[in-house]
Amino acid sequence: MKNIEEKIKEVIDNIKPSLQAHGGDVRFVSYDEKKGIVNVKLLGMCVGCPMAKITLKQGIEEELKRQVPEVKEVISI
């Protein structure tokens, strides 16, 4: 059985191709199990992009929350 962090990494790996198609990328940094917070780092064209916050919250966060119910929030560090 996969642990929560493995599930999170798998979801992020599935999201990566969409971001990479637009010159961006995302990397998993850490997961705070007590708070349900996932820390990620946006890379490439995502850095400084005005749409990055929308991508983070409405894309990455929503998909993680849907597939991994333990996730409460995703933060870009």
DSSP single-letter state for residue 46: T
Q: Which range marks the domain in which residue 45 is found?
A: 4-76
The model's pTM: 0.92
> What is the pLDDT at residue 2?
77
> What is the pLDDT at residue 21?
95
CATH at residue 52? 3.30.300.130
At residue 1 the predicted structure's pLDDT band, cuts being 50, 70 and 90, is: low
**Average of pLDDT values for 38-60?**
94
DSSP single-letter state for residue 72: -
At residue 25 the predicted structure's pLDDT band, cuts being 50, 70 and 90, is: very high
Note the pLDDT tens digit of each residue in 6-22. Answer: 999 999 999 999 999 99
Q: How many domains are contained in the chain?
A: 1
Nearest Cα residue to 12 out of 54, 49, 67, 72: 67
